[in-house]
Amino acid sequence: MLFESKLPDVGTTIFTIMSRRAQEEGALNIGQGFPDYPIEPRLTELVAQAIRAGHNQYAPMEGIQILREEIAGKLQRCYGGKFDPGREITVTCGATEALFNAIQTVMGVGDEAIIFDPAYDAYEPAVRLAGGRCVRVPLPPPAFRIDWDRVRASITPRTRLLIINSPQNPACTTASAGDLAELASSIRDKRITVLSDEVYEHVVFDGERHHSVLGNPELRERSFAVFSFGKTLHATGWRTGYCVAPPRLTQEFRKIHQFNTFSIAAPLQHAIAGFLHDNAASWLNLSAFFEAKRELLTGLLSASGLRTLKSQGTYFQLVDYGELADCADLEFCDRLIREAKVAVIPLTPFYAEPPRMRLVRLCLAKRDETIREAAQRLVQFAAKHA
Ligand SMILES: Cc1ncc(COP(=O)(O)O)c(C=O)c1O
């Protein structure tokens, strides 16, 4: 090797591994988080129109003006306050790029970022590439609540970033207004920036609503908030998202964005801007859309021995298989793929230090027929192993 690996212990993500295994075994994939149903026909039309209209060259680095204006309007409607499309909103290649840029913007060699355990897998490698390290605060299952005393005890003079994710993947929990107040008070007067991953902002169940850092004036002043059109428009392959941050943070963020992706696919931006303009109902109904799928899946699995935990948000559902098997989750997932022909996601890869638990993650962003078929196979598997 002519150079040393910067991420020697990082392999292929668990999502790719399980999806590949699902294909090899001809299993139904209800693990990885992507819809198996089509996008809105109107979006397809709008993107074709944008290409025909000649929007095929570099878009502006920060995103096209009309899209940033639509985003500003949407943010104001959802979280109150005014957002400057010129200085506070940047369109990115999915939330993933926004997360990466924000982390590179803030973190330097020897710096610490507080993240939670379990956490979405994109945070830690980006922190390490910046020369920093993650300090993980456990979220104990099955409630996965944040212990703010523990967060405060984890802050050191080297802490520069705190990464919060609500609704949380994979725990399926949501942060309350009280959590955000604790967050604000824990970092007040400290040199700590917040990176708030809010890609599931529109998927919050049981009549609750999403609490964004953008709705908390103190946090808004010091946060990067990251969103995904992939999640909101059921179009994960479009790789479109955006980052919202105060002007002084956005200025630094864009320095990284312009030499990372520079700008995002122009026709997609035009299509999304057109769609946002007159289709607010599509995201306002997302919670109800996924809640119906949660009810369908949990209903079908009830009494199977696979116990569903209450999902508060995200398009995922955790299932406890402890009554059926006492093996590690990777092994259980492998058995499900081979024997039940259903692929799900184990939880331990989301952890630095996994506790003892018997949980796997299922994805609700599937057609009702897919959910029914998967549930039937799981119920049969459970009956065999009860
Ligand atoms: C918590 C969380 N953050 C970020 C992302 C990445 O979003 P995108 O596909 O827009 O890059 C995902 C995707 O699964 C996610 O679950």
> Which tens digit of pLDDT belongs to each residue from 283-314?
999 999 999 999 999 999 998 999 999 999 99
3-state secondary structure 276-308: HHHCHHHHHCHHHHHHHHHHHHHHHHCCCCCEE
pLDDT > 90: percent of the chain: 94
Q: What is the pLDDT of residue 213?
A: 98
Residue 334 DSSP SS3: helix
Q: What's the mean pLDDT when you consider all of the chain?
A: 96
The whole-angstrom separation of Cα 66 and Cα 55 is 13
Residue 8 corresponds to which amino acid?
P
14: pLDDT strictly greater than 90:
no
pLDDT > 70: percent of the chain: 100
Distance 39 CA to ligand 1 centre (A): 18
Q: What is the pLDDT of residue 370?
A: 97
Distance 91 CA to ligand 1 centre (A): 15
Q: What tens digit of pLDDT does each residue of 78-133 get? A: 999 999 999 999 999 999 999 999 999 999 999 999 999 999 999 999 999 999 99
Residue range 323-341: mean pLDDT, rounded: 95
Of 101, 164, 228, the one to substitute when testing ligand 1's pocket (max ligand atoms within 8 A of C-beta) is 228
Q: What pTM was estimated for this model as a whole?
A: 0.97
Q: What is the pLDDT of residue 157?
A: 98
Residue closest to 67 by CA, chosen among 42, 45, 49, 92: 92
Q: What is the pLDDT of residue 257?
A: 98
The burial class, CB within 10 Å (0-12 / 13-18 / 19+), for 302 is: exposed
Q: What is the pLDDT of residue 269?
A: 98
Contact (Cβ atoms closer than 8 angstroms) between residue 202 and residue 234:
no
Which residues, other chains included, contact 223 with Cβ-Cβ below 8 Å and sequence gap of 6+? 193, 194, 195, 196, 213, 214, 245
Distance 380 CA to ligand 1 centre (A): 32
Distance 157 CA to ligand 1 centre (A): 30
Number of alpha carbons in the 13 Å side-chain half-sphere of residue 291: 14
The whole-angstrom separation of Cα 261 and Cα 162 is 24
Residue closest to 116 by CA, chosen among 156, 157, 62, 154: 154
Q: What is the pLDDT of residue 12?
A: 84
Residue 265 DSSP SS3: coil
Nearest-atom index, ligand 1, CA of 228: 10
Distance 331 CA to ligand 1 centre (A): 25
Nearest-atom index, ligand 1, CA of 231: 10
Per-residue pLDDT band at 17 (split at 50, 70, 90): confident
Per-residue pLDDT band at 13 (split at 50, 70, 90): confident
Nearest CA to ligand 1 atom 1: 169
How many residues in the chain? 386
Nearest CA to ligand 1 atom 16: 169
Q: What tens digit of pLDDT does each residue of 139-197 get? A: 999 999 999 999 999 999 999 999 999 999 999 999 999 999 999 999 999 999 999 99
Q: What tens digit of pLDDT does each residue of 38-67 get? A: 999 999 999 999 999 999 999 999 999 999
Q: What is the pLDDT of residue 367?
A: 97
Distance 98 CA to ligand 1 centre (A): 10
Whether a cis peptide bond, with omega within 30° of 0, leads into 138 is no
Q: What is the pLDDT of residue 386?
A: 80
Distance 35 CA to ligand 1 centre (A): 13
Distance 383 CA to ligand 1 centre (A): 34
Where does ligand 1 bind, in terms of residues with CB under 6 Å? Answer: 33, 94-96, 120, 165, 169, 197, 199, 228, 230, 236, 241
Nearest-atom index, ligand 1, CA of 96: 11
Q: Report, in angstroms and rounded to the nearest whole number, the Rg of the chain calculated over CA atoms.
A: 21
Buried b (16+ CB within 10 A) or exposed e, 184-207: bebbeeeebbbbbbbbbbbbbbee
Residue closest to 318 by CA, chosen among 334, 304, 297: 297
Nearest-atom index, ligand 1, CA of 120: 1
Q: What is the pLDDT of residue 303?
A: 86
Q: What is the pLDDT of residue 360?
A: 97
Per-residue pLDDT band at 19 (split at 50, 70, 90): confident
Which residues, other chains included, contact 111 with Cβ-Cβ below 8 Å and sequence gap of 6+? 130, 131, 132, 133, 158, 159, 160, 161
Nearest-atom index, ligand 1, CA of 197: 3
In which element (H, E) is residue 23 found? helix 14-25
Given its phi and psi angles, is residue 296 left (phi above 0), alpha (psi -120 to 50 degrees) or beta? alpha
Nearest-atom index, ligand 1, CA of 99: 4
